Amino acid sequence: MLSIHFGHWRTVYGWFRELVRQFLFQTIHDVERMLGREHVGREASPTAAVIDSQSINAPHAKAREYDAGKEVVGGKCHIAVDTDGRLLMVNLMPADISDSASAQMSLDAIRKRWPWVEASVRRWRL
């Protein structure tokens, strides 16, 4: 439920869609991460990333796959953060893709924005 100060929900949603279309949220996030890194005395752009994956159990979802290694029906979520724990990327994939292949796809996507990033990959299961 929106506050009355926001106006009609269609107006708010229209502005939201326009900001997403122009990648404004991603730009604000990137600028905030760079300012935060500089504030603690680091380089503005990240040079290293930690990529972690989790298989997500979703047996009733319309689009789901089976991860035989973890015996999970659902999907896989890869999260990449810089060395300070600031979010770089969240990548959702089908569960039937191997961890190494999906981590490499996530790393390739990260390197499109920051070509100098090195990554460390760790697997865990909840």
Model pTM score: 0.66
Give the residue extent of every domain in the chain: 6-44, 46-126
DSSP letter at 40 equals T
pLDDT at 115: 83
Q: How much is the CA Rg of the chain, to the nearest whole Å?
A: 18
Give the pairing type, strands 65-67 and 72-82: antiparallel
DSSP letter at 46 equals -
What tens digit of pLDDT does each residue of 50-78 get?
888 887 776 665 655 656 566 667 777 88
- Give SS3 for 123: strand
